[in-house]
Amino acid sequence: QSVTIPATVTINGVSYKVTAIADKAFSGCKSLKSVKIGNNVTKIGTKAFYNCKALTNIELSPNTTTIGNSAFYGCTTLPSITLPAGVSSIGNNAFRSCSSLGSIEIPSGVTKIDTFTFTDCTSLSSVTIPNTVTLIDGNAFQNCKSLGNINMPDSVTSIGTYAFSGSGLSSITLS
């Protein structure tokens, strides 16, 4: 199944902008494979796509700024996602257990990688962290077994407990 979230909807002749995907909007949709999100959407709500295990493709609005807590938690077949440049907030557990996710580029508006954000992303082998990130919180990359090395910008001043516990991390390059 594919879903397209429009930029606007018209009800009784009045047009309304679609600006957010509500909390739990598609949570547990077992047959959802592809989603395209309209250009007016700025927020992906908490658990919006939680446990959408068949999801293999998602196209976020270029105007997305916020990805809520556990938004894509358990999307086990999602191989990739492009985070728009304007994203400034990624909630805890946002991509937890996305076990097919191979790489991620964190946009430069992000200052913190929250707790458990990428925990159990066992295929994650490449992470790009911008020099705006100051905190990598606890358990952020826990059990990312394919993550062999990481380039750590010198902007990072704090790394939380178990941030890389159980990962495949063998080297860190400070930049």
Question: What is the structure's pLDDT at 105?
Answer: 97
Cα 115 off chain centre by: 12
pLDDT score recorded for residue 50? 98
Q: pLDDT tier at 163 (50, 70, 90 boundaries)?
A: very high
What is the tens place of the pLDDT at every residue in 118-148? 999 999 999 999 999 999 999 999 999 999 9
What's the DSSP call for residue 7? S
Considering the chain, what is the average pLDDT of its residues?
97
Cβ atoms of 95 and 104 within 8 Å: the answer is: yes
Q: What is the pLDDT of residue 127?
A: 97
Summarised one tens digit per residue, pLDDT across range 8-53 is: 999 999 999 999 999 999 999 999 999 999 999 999 999 999 999 9
Structure confidence at residue 59 (pLDDT): 98
- Angle (CA) 172-126-43 rounded to 5° is 115
Contact 25, 50 (CB under 8 A): no
Q: Which structure tokens are listed for 15?
A: 């047009």
For residue 116, the model assigns a pLDDT of 98
Beta bridge partners of 168: none
Give the pLDDT confidence score for residue 39 in this predicted structure. Answer: 98
Residues in contact with 14: Cβ distance below 8 Å, sequence separation at least 6, in sequence order: none
Identify the pLDDT of residue 160.
Answer: 98
Q: What pLDDT does residue 19 have?
A: 98
Please tell me the distance from the alpha carbon of residue 43 to that of residue 25, in angstroms, as a whole number: 12
Measured distance CA(63)–CA(12) in Å, rounded:
27
Q: How far is CA 24 from CA 45, 61, 77, 148, in A?
A: 7, 18, 19, 33
Query: Do the strands 14-17 and 126-128 form a parallel or antiparallel pair, or are they unpaired?
Result: unpaired
How are beta strands 8-11 and 14-17 bridged, if at all? antiparallel
Q: What is the pTM of this model?
A: 0.96
Supply the pLDDT for residue 175. Answer: 87
